[in-house]
Amino acid sequence: MKATSNHLRHAGLPFARQRDIFSQMILESPLLTDALHRLHELGGESSKFWLVSGALYNTIWNRLTRRQALHGIKDLDIIYFDSSDLSWEAEDAVITRGADVFRDFPLPVQIRNQARVHLWFEKRFGQPYAPLRSATESIERYSTIAHCVGARLAKDGEVTEDGLLIHAPFGFDDIFSFRIRPNRAIDNRETHEIKATRALKFWPELRVQDWDTPE
Protein backbone atom coordinates (compact mmCIF):
# COMPACT_ATOMS: atom_id res chain seq x y z
CA MET A 1 0.00 0.00 0.00
CA LYS A 2 1.28 3.43 -0.88
CA ALA A 3 1.60 6.11 1.76
CA THR A 4 -0.61 9.19 1.67
CA SER A 5 0.74 12.48 0.32
CA ASN A 6 1.77 13.33 3.88
CA HIS A 7 4.99 11.41 3.28
CA LEU A 8 6.13 14.37 1.15
CA ARG A 9 5.61 16.94 3.88
CA HIS A 10 9.32 17.81 4.12
CA ALA A 11 9.92 18.05 0.35
CA GLY A 12 10.93 21.47 -0.90
CA LEU A 13 11.95 22.87 2.48
CA PRO A 14 15.16 24.92 2.77
CA PHE A 15 18.42 22.98 2.98
CA ALA A 16 19.08 23.83 6.64
CA ARG A 17 15.61 22.74 7.71
CA GLN A 18 15.87 19.47 5.78
CA ARG A 19 19.28 18.87 7.27
CA ASP A 20 17.88 19.29 10.79
CA ILE A 21 14.96 16.97 10.10
CA PHE A 22 17.24 14.38 8.52
CA SER A 23 19.62 14.50 11.47
CA GLN A 24 16.79 14.24 13.98
CA MET A 25 15.31 11.19 12.25
CA ILE A 26 18.68 9.45 12.12
CA LEU A 27 19.36 10.13 15.80
CA GLU A 28 15.86 8.93 16.72
CA SER A 29 16.55 5.57 15.06
CA PRO A 30 17.80 3.05 17.66
CA LEU A 31 19.24 0.96 14.83
CA LEU A 32 21.31 3.78 13.35
CA THR A 33 22.43 5.32 16.63
CA ASP A 34 23.70 1.89 17.62
CA ALA A 35 25.52 1.61 14.28
CA LEU A 36 27.03 5.10 14.59
CA HIS A 37 28.34 4.42 18.08
CA ARG A 38 29.87 1.15 16.90
CA LEU A 39 31.53 3.04 14.05
CA HIS A 40 32.91 5.49 16.58
CA GLU A 41 34.30 2.56 18.53
CA LEU A 42 35.83 1.06 15.37
CA GLY A 43 37.46 4.34 14.38
CA GLY A 44 38.75 5.30 17.79
CA GLU A 45 40.30 8.75 17.93
CA SER A 46 40.38 9.09 14.15
CA SER A 47 36.60 8.72 13.69
CA LYS A 48 37.39 8.06 10.04
CA PHE A 49 34.48 5.74 9.29
CA TRP A 50 31.28 6.93 7.65
CA LEU A 51 27.89 5.24 7.44
CA VAL A 52 26.62 5.94 3.94
CA SER A 53 23.75 5.59 1.52
CA GLY A 54 21.02 2.97 1.86
CA ALA A 55 20.57 2.54 5.60
CA LEU A 56 20.30 6.32 5.94
CA TYR A 57 17.81 7.25 3.22
CA ASN A 58 15.87 4.00 3.65
CA THR A 59 15.38 4.89 7.32
CA ILE A 60 13.93 8.25 6.31
CA TRP A 61 11.56 6.64 3.81
CA ASN A 62 10.43 4.06 6.36
CA ARG A 63 9.81 6.73 8.96
CA LEU A 64 7.80 8.92 6.58
CA THR A 65 5.72 6.01 5.26
CA ARG A 66 5.28 4.42 8.71
CA ARG A 67 6.95 1.17 7.78
CA GLN A 68 9.01 -1.08 10.04
CA ALA A 69 12.52 0.14 10.82
CA LEU A 70 14.31 -2.64 8.91
CA HIS A 71 11.95 -2.65 5.92
CA GLY A 72 13.94 -2.86 2.69
CA ILE A 73 17.32 -2.17 4.32
CA LYS A 74 19.76 -4.67 2.84
CA ASP A 75 22.91 -3.90 4.82
CA LEU A 76 25.11 -1.22 6.33
CA ASP A 77 27.58 0.42 3.95
CA ILE A 78 30.63 1.74 5.78
CA ILE A 79 33.47 3.62 4.14
CA TYR A 80 36.83 4.97 5.21
CA PHE A 81 39.95 6.32 3.54
CA ASP A 82 43.46 5.05 4.23
CA SER A 83 46.04 5.59 1.51
CA SER A 84 48.97 4.56 3.71
CA ASP A 85 48.55 0.89 2.78
CA LEU A 86 46.65 -0.04 -0.37
CA SER A 87 47.02 -3.78 0.05
CA TRP A 88 43.99 -6.03 0.25
CA GLU A 89 45.46 -7.49 3.43
CA ALA A 90 45.27 -4.12 5.20
CA GLU A 91 41.67 -3.59 4.15
CA ASP A 92 40.76 -7.13 5.12
CA ALA A 93 42.19 -6.54 8.59
CA VAL A 94 39.83 -3.58 9.00
CA ILE A 95 36.92 -5.66 7.71
CA THR A 96 37.76 -8.34 10.27
CA ARG A 97 37.82 -5.78 13.09
CA GLY A 98 34.53 -4.39 11.88
CA ALA A 99 32.95 -7.85 11.82
CA ASP A 100 33.85 -8.20 15.48
CA VAL A 101 32.46 -4.77 16.43
CA PHE A 102 29.21 -5.51 14.55
CA ARG A 103 29.07 -9.21 15.39
CA ASP A 104 25.56 -9.05 16.94
CA PHE A 105 24.15 -6.33 14.69
CA PRO A 106 20.87 -7.26 12.93
CA LEU A 107 22.13 -6.35 9.42
CA PRO A 108 25.11 -7.45 7.32
CA VAL A 109 27.94 -4.91 7.25
CA GLN A 110 30.11 -3.99 4.25
CA ILE A 111 33.29 -2.02 4.92
CA ARG A 112 35.40 -0.61 2.08
CA ASN A 113 38.57 1.47 1.92
CA GLN A 114 37.84 4.20 -0.62
CA ALA A 115 41.55 4.72 -1.27
CA ARG A 116 41.52 1.32 -3.03
CA VAL A 117 38.38 1.63 -5.18
CA HIS A 118 40.26 2.61 -8.34
CA LEU A 119 42.27 -0.63 -8.08
CA TRP A 120 39.26 -2.91 -8.62
CA PHE A 121 36.44 -0.76 -10.03
CA GLU A 122 37.29 -1.13 -13.72
CA LYS A 123 37.57 -4.91 -13.53
CA ARG A 124 34.18 -5.13 -11.83
CA PHE A 125 32.25 -2.44 -13.71
CA GLY A 126 34.11 -2.15 -17.02
CA GLN A 127 35.22 1.48 -16.82
CA PRO A 128 38.10 3.38 -15.23
CA TYR A 129 37.64 5.13 -11.90
CA ALA A 130 39.79 8.09 -10.92
CA PRO A 131 41.54 7.69 -7.56
CA LEU A 132 39.73 9.32 -4.66
CA ARG A 133 41.26 11.84 -2.28
CA SER A 134 38.92 11.26 0.64
CA ALA A 135 36.11 9.02 1.81
CA THR A 136 33.52 11.74 1.34
CA GLU A 137 34.59 12.35 -2.27
CA SER A 138 33.31 8.87 -3.10
CA ILE A 139 29.83 9.86 -1.92
CA GLU A 140 29.70 12.42 -4.74
CA ARG A 141 29.99 9.61 -7.32
CA TYR A 142 27.15 7.35 -6.20
CA SER A 143 24.74 6.40 -8.96
CA THR A 144 21.69 8.24 -7.68
CA ILE A 145 21.36 11.68 -6.09
CA ALA A 146 19.32 10.38 -3.15
CA HIS A 147 22.08 7.88 -2.38
CA CYS A 148 24.71 10.58 -1.93
CA VAL A 149 24.70 10.98 1.82
CA GLY A 150 26.93 9.92 4.69
CA ALA A 151 26.93 10.39 8.46
CA ARG A 152 29.17 9.84 11.45
CA LEU A 153 29.39 11.00 15.02
CA ALA A 154 31.51 14.08 15.60
CA LYS A 155 34.83 13.60 17.34
CA ASP A 156 36.28 15.88 19.99
CA GLY A 157 36.82 19.37 18.65
CA GLU A 158 34.24 19.09 15.86
CA VAL A 159 31.36 21.41 16.62
CA THR A 160 27.83 20.36 15.71
CA GLU A 161 24.49 21.12 17.30
CA ASP A 162 23.55 17.48 17.71
CA GLY A 163 26.86 15.61 17.58
CA LEU A 164 26.20 14.24 14.09
CA LEU A 165 28.29 15.08 11.03
CA ILE A 166 26.52 14.71 7.69
CA HIS A 167 27.98 14.86 4.20
CA ALA A 168 25.26 15.48 1.60
CA PRO A 169 26.85 17.09 -1.47
CA PHE A 170 23.50 17.36 -3.30
CA GLY A 171 21.36 18.15 -0.29
CA PHE A 172 18.37 16.21 1.01
CA ASP A 173 15.48 17.13 -1.25
CA ASP A 174 15.66 14.02 -3.42
CA ILE A 175 15.36 11.91 -0.27
CA PHE A 176 12.41 13.86 1.12
CA SER A 177 10.79 14.05 -2.33
CA PHE A 178 11.03 10.26 -2.76
CA ARG A 179 12.83 10.93 -6.03
CA ILE A 180 15.28 8.55 -7.71
CA ARG A 181 17.29 10.77 -10.03
CA PRO A 182 20.56 9.76 -11.74
CA ASN A 183 23.90 11.19 -10.71
CA ARG A 184 25.96 11.30 -13.88
CA ALA A 185 29.31 12.04 -12.24
CA ILE A 186 30.39 8.75 -13.80
CA ASP A 187 28.53 6.30 -16.04
CA ASN A 188 26.56 4.48 -13.36
CA ARG A 189 23.53 3.73 -15.53
CA GLU A 190 23.37 0.01 -14.74
CA THR A 191 23.71 0.53 -10.99
CA HIS A 192 21.11 3.31 -11.04
CA GLU A 193 18.61 1.13 -12.89
CA ILE A 194 19.17 -1.99 -10.78
CA LYS A 195 18.83 -0.11 -7.50
CA ALA A 196 15.80 1.84 -8.71
CA THR A 197 14.01 -1.37 -9.65
CA ARG A 198 14.72 -2.87 -6.25
CA ALA A 199 13.72 0.28 -4.36
CA LEU A 200 10.32 0.46 -6.08
CA LYS A 201 9.46 -2.97 -4.73
CA PHE A 202 9.85 -1.70 -1.16
CA TRP A 203 8.78 1.94 -1.57
CA PRO A 204 6.24 2.23 -4.41
CA GLU A 205 5.84 5.92 -3.53
CA LEU A 206 9.13 6.61 -5.30
CA ARG A 207 9.33 8.52 -8.57
CA VAL A 208 12.13 7.26 -10.80
CA GLN A 209 13.88 9.34 -13.43
CA ASP A 210 15.39 7.37 -16.30
CA TRP A 211 19.11 7.75 -16.91
CA ASP A 212 18.53 9.31 -20.35
CA THR A 213 15.88 11.79 -19.24
CA PRO A 214 17.36 15.30 -19.25
CA GLU A 215 17.18 17.46 -16.15
pLDDT in tens, the chain (215 residues): 455 569 999 999 999 999 999 999 999 999 999 999 999 888 875 568 999 999 999 999 999 999 999 999 999 999 999 999 999 999 999 999 999 999 999 999 999 999 999 999 888 888 889 999 999 999 999 999 999 999 999 876 565 777 899 999 999 999 999 999 999 988 888 899 999 999 999 999 999 998 888 77
- Asked if residues 149 and 166 have their Cβ atoms less than 8 Å apart, the reply is yes
What integer pLDDT is reported at residue 186 of this predicted model?
87
What integer pLDDT is reported at residue 188 of this predicted model?
86
Q: From CA 71, how far away is CA 105, in angstroms rounded?
A: 15
Which residue, 64, 37, 71, 36, is CA-closest to 198? 71
Q: From CA 65, how far away is CA 10, in angstroms rounded?
A: 12
Please report which helix (H) or strand (E) contains residue 122, including its range: helix 117-125
Q: From CA 18, how far away is CA 29, in angstroms rounded?
A: 17
> φ, ψ for residue 113 (rounded to 5)?
-80, 115
- Asked if residues 136 and 50 have their Cβ atoms less than 8 Å apart, the reply is yes
Q: With both helix axes pointing from N to C terminus, report the angle between 15-27 and 54-65 in degrees, rounded to the nearest 10.
A: 90
At 110 the three-state DSSP class reads: strand
pTM for the whole structure? 0.92
What integer pLDDT is reported at residue 158 of this predicted model?
66
What integer pLDDT is reported at residue 2 of this predicted model?
54
Residues linked to residue 52 through DSSP beta bridges, in sequence order: 77, 150
